[in-house]
Chains A and B, each alone.
Chain A
Amino acid sequence: MAISDGQIFDEPHGIPLRVTLMRAERRHRVKALILVLPLAFFILIFFVLPIARMLVNAVHDDTLLTLLPRTISELRQWDGNGLPDEPVYAALVVDLKQTIDQGTAGVIGKRMNYEIAGVVSKVTSSARKAQELSTGPYKEALIKIDALWARHDVWSLLKRGTSPYTFYYLLRAADYQYGPNSEIVASSPGNAIFQDVWLRTFGISFGVTLATLLLGFPVAYLLATLQPKHANLLLIMVLLPFWTSLLVRTTAWVVLLQRHGAVNEILVASHMISQPAELIYNRFGTLVAMSHIQLPFTLLPIYSVMKTISPSYIRAAQSLGAGPFYAFWKVYFPQTLSGVAAGCLLTFILCLGYYITPALVGGPSDQMVSFFVAHYTNEDLNWGMASALGAILLTATLTLYFVFNKLVGINRIKLG
């Protein structure tokens, strides 16, 4: 062995030991990389890119910029007071003429309609009528075609189109929007639905989390303290919902809870109530069905933590003079907290994204944020709104995750 300046050489070949080691390890690393490559690609293409795209869509909107290029470019010079000058109107007429060829007038109208209601038909008819204009002054001509073009708020809206980025969707998702002078104002009561939706989403998620915790904690305790033979049977029963399709489970609740369903029949037959109760298509049904689905998610992390708590702690506490309840509360329960936090976090985050269950067993006022994401994506084709709602939801989830990580440590989440 020759040792010089801290390097150890493999003598016959004179190659530093560290290099040999790296070579030996490189093979392993390459192998490991090849194994994960397909999954990595899959995640990149079907998960990371769509989410990145969604985050961009939440603030990016260049509809006006691309469809009204001349108008927008002229508007850059406008100071935003009163109405713009003749050159802007002239540019708008040229742009509008073009929209007829390209068939984009409707798109422009729809985009403007987001912020100022009832302008779609006015824009499309203006575009049609603008075809006949050949000489100026265009300002008066356009205003004559439709008073829309004499509205200051309309021009403020077009002026905001000079930037391809907009906070409109995010503001809207929090019940704010731009006023006539591009200042931020609260949405009108008719449009202000999202604060309610957010409160409802968090409220239902919290309710479900609490319900699953109250139901799941004793079961987890039972599972952890029962003899293995019985515990396994119970565990299978807990896991059964996992193996059933979500749709099947949800419709099962419909069967059980509907007006003439099993639960109502029993309650009426046993004279507990005289009239069938409304158990479904309302908040109650939503909470029940969601709690049922989420129960294993809350329970399993708690169970896995409980399983690691030796029964000798309770015995030790009792030998030190603590009664059974005191020993449980002071010695056992605190040790389960990391599991409780993990289970609750998991359920809460999953609940935030619920869509099918509230849609099937909830009433109109029980729809959560995901319903609106789906609505904007599938029906309104308003990708901006869908993305903004999604982005806020994602941010909320990540925030929760980080808070949890700081408080408890994410590596303590274990399933099963």
Chain B
Amino acid sequence: MSIAANEYTWYRRTTETAVVGESKSVGQMLNADDPLVKLIDIQKTYDGETLVVKDLNLDIAGGEFVTMLGPSGSGKTTSLMMLAGFETPTRGQIILGGRALDNVPPYKRNIGMVFQNYALFPHMTVEENLAFPLKVRKLGKLDIEAKINRALEIVRLGAYGNRRPGQLSGGQQQRVALARALVFEPKLVLMDEPLGALDKQLREHMQLEIKHIHEELGVTVVYVTHDQAEALTMSDRIAVFKDGAIQQLATPVELYEKPQNAFVARFIGESNQMRGKVTAIDGPGCSVEIEGAGDVRALAINVDVGAPTELSLRPERVTLNPMPGSMPNVFSARIEELIYLGDHVRVRLLACGCDNFVIKLNSAEDLTRVEPGAIITIGWKIEDCRALGVER
């Protein structure tokens, strides 16, 4: 990925002037640290019975890359469509650049959008596709040409301007769609699973490419995916959706290291879920009694004394055969299964009443005594084990 520095600054400059021009027309100046997008108490129902989106509150700062992540049917697309203006919220307000979007139709919102199936106009060449938003805005011929060339350069498709979308590969079409969403310099770009149709390798490549383009252009991106690896790779912040509500909104690191509830812990990365009952809370820690295994010391995140809870523990944070006394949590376990995965070995254990307790071992370690049926001890630290309550 390369883009000339002056080009970048040019892009920034034009984008910024556009923002200023826009806000002037509304008649109020924006504070520098006001969020670009504000979703306030958004609700949405299609049938008048079930809420597809519940009390959605989300602030997105200018230049941020925010991902909506969640299982199928959790309301991600619906939220994005409300932002784009193709669906109207049943309640609540969306504010873009200080201006309420209540009665602004999609074509006046100036929001770029990349669709899952790209939606490139099949009867137009790549250049005509890119020219479309510029012609709508009645730009001059030379201006249009310059912007098209720049956009094609950014997505590295300079030589493909005269092709039809049908003559491009999936990855190339994807990049044209990206260029088309960027070419009219919107402040905000929405992407709904734009990489869903690509194969794994290309998807990973495009993830990085989109991330770099975002960094270089400084445009604000709201991205929808149900692939957690994709979300972790690309995002500044991730909003984890479930049943139309945000479960947690945090940076990738925080989401992985400090999940706030059982759903997030399960959904992001892999974790062992043990079930028990809280017997005592002392400061940041707590004791959880697991039937047939004993007391586990864990971080109290989301629990009350006497209530059942799930304990979440990442497989890679479990130590095999710890030195006696070196860890607060030491339990014995029986090895059920070994799965060799090259760089590491997954070991499935029966431990703490859980027969699907997985740990990851470095395959370079001495694994001679690790075999199915063997009894071993495992241990982990308090801060790696989080008591998250039960999933509602």
Which residues of A are at the interface with B, using a C-beta cutoff of 8 A?
310, 312-313, 315-324, 326-327, 330-331, 334-335
Contacts and interface: CB of A to CB of B under 8 A. Distances in A.
B84 A319 contact: yes
Which of A320, A330, A331 has the most chain B CB atoms inside 10 A of its CB? A320
A334 B123 contact: yes
A110 B117 CA distance: 71
Contact of A320 (B85, B117, B136): B136
B263 interface: no
B253 to A, nearest CB: 32
Nearest to B106: A318
Interface stretch (B108-116, B223-231, B346-354, B356-364): B108-116
Closest 6 CB pairs of A and B: A320-B133, A316-B119, A319-B113, A312-B119, A321-B136, A318-B106
Contacts of B10: none
B9 to A, nearest CB: 25
A325 to B, nearest CB: 11
B141 interface: no
B86 interface: yes
Contact of A323 (B107, B115, B119, B181): B107
A320 B180 contact: yes
Contacts of B107: 318-324, 327
Nearest to A337: B123
A312 B181 CA distance: 14
B147 to A, nearest CB: 13
Contacts of B112: 319-320
Contact of A321 (B119, B121, B184): B184
Interface residues of B, number: 27
Interface of B: 84-86, 105-113, 115, 117, 119-123, 132-133, 136-137, 180-181, 184, 190
B342 to A, nearest CB: 35
Contacts of A312: 115, 117, 119
A321 B181 CA distance: 11
A123 B265 CA distance: 109
Contacts of B111: 319
A315 B180 CA distance: 14
Given A322-B107, A323-B107, A317 B113 contact: no
B119 A322 contact: no
A161 B136 CA distance: 71
B189 to A, nearest CB: 10
Contact of B121 (A315, A318, A331): A331
Nearest to B107: A318
Contacts of B115: 312, 315-316
Contacts of A334: 123
Nearest to A315: B86
Nearest to A330: B132
Contact of B119 (A315, A324, A326): A315
A317 B109 CA distance: 12
B77 to A, nearest CB: 11
Given A315-B86, A316-B113, A316-B115, A322 B123 contact: no
A312 B192 CA distance: 12
A58 to B, nearest CB: 42
A103 to B, nearest CB: 68
A321 B137 contact: yes
